[in-house]
């Protein structure tokens, strides 16, 4: 990701949470890239505070729909766009749920329901 440090800095600056010590600061960055005219990739990074916890990618087919333009249509081949979001959550809430989701998915070899139940 070209703008990774800049995006992290902006997210932290723009999201001021009171009592931050009681919260986990979770940041997720996405980079979308058009690999071919019919193929795109989304690279993602999951940070807790300033520590990179997970990173991964997904390759997607890009289907053409003349009636509906998407962000992929705006990209040239090998061009990227970066996005990010920040979430301050109570400790052991969202972060724990997300980590449990990832662990169950890998353990059982399939994508799980987000909430166990």
Which structure tokens are listed for 76? 């040239």
How far lies 53's CA from each of 45, 61, 84, 111, in Å?
8, 27, 15, 19
Please tell me the predicted confidence (pLDDT) of residue 66. Answer: 82
> What pLDDT tens digit does each residue of the chain (117 aa) get?
778 888 888 888 887 766 656 677 888 999 999 999 999 999 999 998 888 999 999 999 998 888 888 888 889 999 999 989 887 766 666 667 777 777 777 777 665 554 444
CA 32 – CA 60 distance, rounded (Å): 10
Tell me the Cα Rg of the chain: 17
Report pTM.
0.66
């Amino acid at each position: 990701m070209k703008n990774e440090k800049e995006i992290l800095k902006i997210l932290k600056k723009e999201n001021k949470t009171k009592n931050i010590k009681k919260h986990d600061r979770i940041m997720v960055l996405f980079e979308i890239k058009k690999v071919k005219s019919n193929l795109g990739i989304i690279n993602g990074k999951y940070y807790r505070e300033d520590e990179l916890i997970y990173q991964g990618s997904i390759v997607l087919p890009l289907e053409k729909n003349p009636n509906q333009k998407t962000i992929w249509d705006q990209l040239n081949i090998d061009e990227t766009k970066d996005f990010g979001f920040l979430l301050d959550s109570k400790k052991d809430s969202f972060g724990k749920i997300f980590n449990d989701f990832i662990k169950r998915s890998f353990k059982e070899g399939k994508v799980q329901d987000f909430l166990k139940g």
